[in-house]
Amino acid sequence: MEFTASARRNTGTRDADGMAVAAFVLGLLGLLVMNIVLGPIAIVLAVLALWRKTGRRGRAYLGLVLGVSDLVVLGVLTTVHQTVSWHF
C-alpha cells in the first residue's frame, strides 16, 4: 500500500496540529501542577509544531508562552519559598 504525497502531507499537518494543542494544554496544566516537567514538554511540542508548519499557530505560540511561564513560576517559587511546589 503506497501513500501519495498529499496523504503524507495531511498526516504531517494533523500531527503538527495535535502537537500545538498538546503544547497549549500541557502548558496550561503546568501552571498548576508539575511545572518542572510539563513546562519543558510544552516548549518542545510547541517548537516542533511550529517547525512542522501547523495550521494552529496561535495555539502553538500560546503553548510556547505557557511553557516558558511554567519555568518562570518555578523560578519564582524556588526563589521566594525555597520549594518547587505550591502551598497556601
Q: Tell me the whole-structure pTM to 2 decimals.
A: 0.80
Mean pLDDT of 38-55: 94
User: How many CA atoms lie within 13 Å of 67's alpha carbon, on the beta-carbon side?
Assistant: 24
For 52, residues 6+ apart whose C-beta sits below 8 A from its C-beta are 12, 13, 15, 16, 19
Say if residue 7's pLDDT is above 70. no
Say if residue 62's pLDDT is above 70. yes
Which pLDDT score is estimated for 83? 76
User: Distance (Å, rounded) from C-alpha 86 to C-alpha 31?
Assistant: 10
Say if residue 12's pLDDT is above 80. no
User: Distance (Å, rounded) from C-alpha 27 to C-alpha 8?
Assistant: 28
